[in-house]
Structure 1
Amino acid sequence: MAPLALLDTLLESWKAQIGPAFPGYRNHCQRMAAFTLALLPQAGDDDRRKIAIAACFHDLGIWSDGTIDYLPPSSRRARDYLAAEGLDAWATEIELMIDEHHKLRAFKDPAYPLVEAFRKADLVDVSLGLVKFGIAGDTVRALKAAYPNEGFHKTLMGLAGSWFKRHPLSPPPFIKW
C-alpha cells in the first residue's frame, strides 16, 4: 500500500518537535491510516484527506504539548490546521476521530463512519495486529513490514508506565469508555 502523501507532508512539519520518536510515529500514522482505508474500501478522496489529517494530529499532543493528556491539544492543533486551510467544515468529524480514537466501546453515530473505522484502525495497530476487525492477516503483516515499528510501542509503554507510577489506580486521561 502506498503511503498517504498528504500525511507525510503534514508530519514533516512536526519532525523536529517529535525528534527521535519521529520514524515510529510516522510509521504508526501510516499503518493506522492504511488500516482505516482497509476498513473503508469505499473511501473517496475527501475521506482519504480527512484520514491523513486525523492521523497526523491524533497523538501529536504528546510531543507538541509534552503531555500524556494529549487529546485536547491534538484536537486543537488539527482544528487550527483545518481553519488555516479553509476546511472548517471538516472540523467536527476530524476532532471526533481524534477525541474518540481510544474509546473502548464502539462509536455509533452513523453520520461519522470515519470515526469508528479510525478507532478500530488504531486498535489494530496498538495491538500489533492481534485485533484485526476483519482486516486480512496478510494486509496487517504487509503494513507492519512496510512501516516498521521503529520503537513506537516502546514509547507508548514508557508513557503508560510513567502514568501508572503516579496514578496506579486511574486509567490514563486519553482512555474513554
Structure 2
Amino acid sequence: MTTPEVLFSLPLAEEILESHRYRAGGDDEGFDAYKAHVYRVINFARALSRDAPERDDKLAIAAAFHDLAAFDTLDYLVPSILAQDAWLHRAGREAWSDELAVVVAEHHRFSRYRAPRPHAELVEAVRRADLIDVSQGLIKFGLPSGYVREVRGAFDAGVFFTRVIPAGAVRAVRTLQPLGFLRPRDALERSGHLGADR
C-alpha cells in the first residue's frame, strides 16, 4: 500500500485549532496533545481515503472539531458539532455542515459505516483513523506498521489520552453526565442534523 507523505502542518487545521484553544481552559499541554491527536487522525484518514477535491480541507475541519468539547464533557459530540457548524457558517462553508456533522457524530462507531449511507468514504476514513490512534496503533486497517509508527511518533498525543480523557470520565461519573460520545444518531438530532446520515 502506498501511503502519502506525513503532513506536519495544515494551515486550515492550525487556524481552527488556535482559534479554539480557549476551550482547554488554560490547559495548553492538554490542548497541544489534542492537536497531536488531530494531526494523527488527518494523516491516517488521508492514507485511508482517495485523494479528491476538498478532501484535505474537510479532513482538517472535521478532525479539528471531532473531540474539541472533550475538555468540558464526555457528552462532547453535540457541542463539538455545534462549534463546527458555527465555524462553517463564519467561513461560508455551510454546504459541508451535514457531511461533517456525520463525520464527527459517527467517529466512535464500532461497525463499518457503509455506502449507500451518505458521506460514507469520509466518515469511514475518519472512523478508522481515530480507532488506529485510540488503539495505540494495534488496529491498522491495512496501513503499514512503519507508517503508523511514523505518524504516531511525529505527534505526541499522550497527555490527551492519559489525562484529558480520563479527567472527563471522572467528571462524567461525578456529575452523572450521559455518555453522549457513544450515541451518534442522538448527537445528530440534538445538533440539528437529524437525517443527515440517511
Deviation at 1:134, TM superposition (A): 0.9
1:115 corresponding residue in structure 2 = 123
1:83 corresponding residue in structure 2 = 89
2:153 corresponding residue in structure 1 = 145
Matched, 1:7 2:13: yes
**1:34-83 alpha-carbon deviations (Å, 9 max, x no partner):** 1100101x2234010000000111111223xx221010010011111111
Matched, 1:39 2:48: yes
Rounded to whole Å, the distance in 1 between the matches of 2:178 and 2:140 is 24
Rounded to whole Å, the distance in 2 between the matches of 1:130 and 1:165 is 31
Rounded to whole Å, the distance in 2 between the matches of 1:128 and 1:142 is 12
Q: CA, structure 1 residues 130+164, in 2 after alignment: closer, same or farther (shift >3 Å)?
A: farther
Q: Is the 8 A contact 1:23 1:150 kept in 2?
A: no
Deviation at 1:165, TM superposition (A): 6.5
Q: Paired residues, what number?
A: 172
TM-score, scaled relative to structure 2: 0.79
**1:65-113 alpha-carbon deviations (Å, 9 max, x no partner):** x221010010011111111111111111100010111111111234411
Partner amino acid, structure 2, of 1:121: A
2:31 corresponding residue in structure 1 = 22
Partner amino acid, structure 2, of 1:33: I
Q: Is the 8 A contact 2:70 2:168 kept in 1?
A: no
Q: Which portions of structure 1, spanning 4 or more consecutive aligned residues, are displaced by more than 4 angstroms? A: 164-167
1:102 corresponding residue in structure 2 = 108
Rounded to whole Å, the distance in 2 between the matches of 1:171 and 1:131 is 27
Deviation at 1:140, TM superposition (A): 0.9
Identity between Structure 1 and Structure 2 (%): 35
Q: Is the 8 A contact 2:75 2:178 kept in 1?
A: no
Deviation at 1:8, TM superposition (A): 1.4
Greater RCO, 1 or 2 (C-alpha within 8 Å, sep 6+): 2
Q: For the aligned residues, what is the CA RMSD?
A: 2.0
Rounded to whole Å, the distance in 1 between the matches of 2:11 and 2:43 is 12
Partner amino acid, structure 2, of 1:86: G
Q: Is the 8 A contact 1:102 1:174 kept in 2?
A: yes
* Contiguous gaps of at least 5 residues in structure 1: none
TM-score, scaled relative to structure 1: 0.88
**1:105-139 alpha-carbon deviations (Å, 9 max, x no partner):** 11123441101111111111111111111111111
Partner amino acid, structure 2, of 1:25: Y
